[in-house]
Structure 1
Amino acid sequence: MEDDDVIDFRYHLVSLISVFLALAVGIVLGAGPLRDTISDQLTGQVEVLREEKEALRVEVDENRRAIEIDTAFIEASAPALLDDVLPGYRVAVATLPGVTDDVAAAVTQRIEQAGGEITARVELSADWAAPGAESARGDVADTARSDLSGISSSETDDVVLGTALAVALTDADASSPRVPSSRATSVLEALTDGGDALVSVQGEAAPADLVLVLTTPQVPLEPDATVDPELEPTNVTWALTLAATAEAAPTVVAGYAAIDTDLLVRVRGERTVTTVDGLGTVPGQVTVPLALAAVAAEEEPTPYGSGIGAQDPLPATQELTGPPALEPAPDPTGTDAPGSPDDPTATDDPTGTDDPTGTDDPIGTDDPSATDGGDGA
């Protein structure tokens, strides 16, 4: 056996003996003089952890109970708080992919509770902002661009489509607030055309005074997870599009602002759109009609709620008397029909005192040819 092999063997043998000696010493000390000390330390640490767990459980229960009480209070206060907040205002609701029916229904209920009316419900597809759908968006934007006045050829597709959404949902015919204008109809056709349409309409759609866009939350990331590289450009596209919608029509965007990657946080970065966070909670849902009223009153764009970027928890109360009304078209079967008292073309009733057969009849007493009733003296 070579010298190196002898040294290696002796080294390993000594190391193994040292490990067993250390283990034996540990067992002796642990079972002897250090037993009570170690046991007491472990018992104390377990007790501390148990107390901390119990304190956290109590705190969680108290917080949950406080939230339940606050929610019940807001629920009870909502009818008085929202009474006549949106008197007769027409609201179009647009939902992004992933918004649940329960959330949309809860917000709709609050708007109606405030005196508003939902005149259109539309769903926006993911292609509005998907990084791989630029070409399809460009085609729709080119089709809609010709119907949008004031849109220059240099405007981006995001601005064109955001403006198109506002026009499609709010532009009314000059003769009736209930009838979409020809421009709105043409733009909506462009947005809903094809198998991969950007917009799908639920039921009948009538022009609205206000637009409400509902967004979804971003799922919180795990500590070691990485952000989807497509998330940020998608959020940017949505934010630019919705900013253009708000520029073209009174608009509120409601959603979630719990983490930095939530879409609503990016929308708030534009500083040109009124937003509401906490959409999945009763406080957030009650705030939505109040924010719509603030937009109708032409208040400055403000982020409402308690999430990231929020400025005020609640909008100031507005006293609205009603939406801006258009003069309705004359109804041939109603009070403005020809021959009715309110018809401007019928100031004299042909069957009344000015009837040609009456006192002003040219063949009657005022007839120059019949001074004595038509008989000569």
Structure 2
Amino acid sequence: MIDFRYHLVSLISVFLALAVGIVLGAGPLKESIGDTLTGEVDALRQRAADLRTELDAAGAELADSQAAFESAADDLLAGVLEERRVAVVAFGDRDGGATDDVAARLEEAGAVVSARVRLTDDWTDPTRATFRQTLAGTLVEYLDPAPDADAGPGTELAEALVQAVSNAVPEDPDRRSENAAVVLQLLTESGLVEVDGEVTLPADAVVVVAGGFDAELADTGDETAAPEDTEALQETVDRWVAVTREIAFASLLRTDGVVVAGHEPVEGGLLAQIRDGQATATRASTVADVQGLVGQVSVPLALAERIGGAVGHYGSGPGTTAPVPPRVELLPIQRIPQLPTSDGGGDGTTDGATGGGTDGAPDAGEATQEPTG
């Protein structure tokens, strides 16, 4: 009987509490809770509206800044690379259209884009290593000067690429050598290189558009990325870093200068590694954020500065010299033919390997330039 009464009292207490809750919810507390929720919703709506206003204002300010910089770019670039011939080298199809924009800015600066080549993934594919080694051995026969015997296939291929776009006939610096044409044809037929248009003039300088490897690497940094995917991409980036260094060194030996352009630098990325390397950082200029207007305009300015003898690193990220390169006035370029001597050789000033404007002597635009070799 006690147990029954106990359970009965418990049930009555539960229903009483429920009834009190219903009464309070429909009465005094209803208005208080409703007002609180309404206030919070209104506050959130106002915050969203404020953020939208701030975003619109920032977007408008950015658009104004871009328009102002675009307007200033015309004067900034005018004549910076007048009559310079520039070969543009891109890596795969990761550039997001940046190569086209960079080429347009080079032309706006007065340069002639003498060659546009794109390296395919076969250039670094580990499964094609034996093929590349065999091809490099063939290409060396057409290189003048040839790399050291122990240079390795990577250096030999880089030398082949640079000489293919820069080697001129010693007696006619406006004409590519026959060997240069043969080398480029072999690289193209091998599937390592794709050529956009026709290469008709030897290049004075080289711009490497390193593509979007840094952006891809940044995307793998989130928590959803599988560790094996990040590791595989890092290995790919490291291989292209080695290629970039080899092409940069070959360009410094055979032309008047080189600039490596890439996306926003990230830790372990291509551009960051190039800037971290003592040998490349002190000899090859770099430009970050090439997917944007400021980066694209910076490429011709950085190249002119490099031809003039200085090295700089521009855009964002560690190791940056300044956001934008200074404008450098280069002297008019002089391409002096090498007349054959009585013994049938050259004039003794060059082996004929240098294309463009150096021909074994300092270019007219390099009167104060430090050695780039």
TM-score interval, smaller chain: 0.7 to 0.9
Task: Say which of 247, 260, 263 aligns to 1:256.
Answer: 263
Task: Say which of 277, 301, 323 aligns to 1:290.
Answer: 301
Q: How far 1:187 moved relative to its partner?
A: 3.2
Q: How far 1:261 moved relative to its partner?
A: 6.3
Question: Which AA in structure 1 matches 2:245?
Answer: A
Quick check: 1:47 aligned with 2:54?
A: no
Task: Say which of 191, 204, 207 aligns to 2:198.
Answer: 204
Question: Which AA in structure 2 matches 1:263?
Answer: L
Bigger CA drift: 123-132 or 231-240?
A: 123-132
SS at match of 1:283: helix
Q: How far 1:309 moved relative to its partner?
A: 5.0
Structure 2 counterparts to residues 114-125 of structure 1, below 5 A: 114-125=109-120
Task: Report the equivalent of 2:84.
Answer: 89
Q: How far 1:81 moved relative to its partner?
A: 0.8
Task: Report the equivalent of 2:7.
Answer: none
User: Which consecutive segments of 4 or more residues in structure 1 shift more than 6 A?
Assistant: 17-26
Structure 2 counterparts to residues 29-178 of structure 1, below 5 A: 30-98=25-93, 102-146=97-141, 147=143, 149=145, 151-178=147-174
Structure 2 counterparts to residues 10-21 of structure 1, below 5 A: none
Task: Report the equivalent of 2:327.
Answer: 317
SS at match of 2:231: coil
Task: Report the equivalent of 2:245.
Answer: 243
SS at match of 1:318: coil
Deviation digits for residues 202-221 of structure 1 (CA, Å, limit 9, x no counterpart): 23212100111223223434
Deviation digits for residues 250-302 of structure 1 (CA, Å, limit 9, x no counterpart): 211222116446533343333513221222222121111101101211212x3
Task: Report the equivalent of 1:347.
Answer: none
Q: How far 1:154 moved relative to its partner?
A: 3.4
Question: Which AA in structure 1 matches 2:224?
Answer: D
Distance 1:42 1:322 in 2: 73
SS at match of 1:229: helix
TM-score (norm 1): 0.72
TM-score (norm 2): 0.73
Distance 2:153 2:18 in 1: 73
Conserved? CA contact 1:256–1:307, under 8 Å: no
- Structure 2 gap segments, 5+ residues each: 1-11, 252-256, 341-373
Distance 2:339 2:116 in 1: 26
Question: Which AA in structure 1 matches 2:205?
Answer: L
Structure 2 counterparts to residues 335-374 of structure 1, below 5 A: none
User: Is the alpha carbon distance of 1:34 and 1:245 closer, same or farther for their aligned partners in structure 2, counting shifts above 3 Å?
Assistant: same
User: Is the alpha carbon distance of 1:39 and 1:257 closer, same or farther for their aligned partners in structure 2, counting shifts above 3 Å?
Assistant: same
Structure 2 counterparts to residues 266-305 of structure 1, below 5 A: 266-271=273-278, 272=280, 273-300=284-311, 302-305=312-315
Q: How far 1:190 moved relative to its partner?
A: 3.5
SS at match of 1:204: coil
Q: How many residues align?
A: 312
Larger helix fraction of residues:
2
Task: Report the equivalent of 1:3.
Answer: none
SS at match of 2:309: coil
Deviation digits for residues 120-144 of structure 1 (CA, Å, limit 9, x no counterpart): 1112111222344333333333333
Conserved? CA contact 1:162–1:243, under 8 Å: no
Conserved? CA contact 1:256–1:279, under 8 Å: yes
Distance 2:318 2:77 in 1: 25
User: Is the alpha carbon distance of 1:32 and 1:83 closer, same or farther for their aligned partners in structure 2, counting shifts above 3 Å?
Assistant: same
Question: Which AA in structure 1 matches 2:157?
Answer: L
* Structure with the larger RCO, 1 or 2 (CA within 8 Å, 6+ apart): 2
Distance 1:19 1:172 in 2: 98
Conserved? CA contact 2:140–2:146, under 8 Å: no
Structure whose alpha-carbon radius of gyration is higher: 1
Conserved? CA contact 2:265–2:271, under 8 Å: no
User: Is the alpha carbon distance of 1:167 and 1:232 closer, same or farther for their aligned partners in structure 2, counting shifts above 3 Å?
Assistant: same
User: Is the alpha carbon distance of 1:57 and 1:21 closer, same or farther for their aligned partners in structure 2, counting shifts above 3 Å?
Assistant: farther
Structure 2 counterparts to residues 220-231 of structure 1, below 5 A: 220-221=219-220, 223-226=223-226, 227-231=229-233
- Structure 1 gap segments, 5+ residues each: 1-16, 331-377
SS at match of 2:260: strand
Conserved? CA contact 1:255–1:276, under 8 Å: yes
Task: Report the equivalent of 2:360.
Answer: none
Conserved? CA contact 1:251–1:295, under 8 Å: yes
Question: Which AA in structure 1 matches 2:203?
Answer: A
User: Is the alpha carbon distance of 1:190 and 1:48 closer, same or farther for their aligned partners in structure 2, counting shifts above 3 Å?
Assistant: same
Question: Which AA in structure 2 matches 1:159?
Answer: T
Question: Which AA in structure 2 matches 1:108?
Answer: A
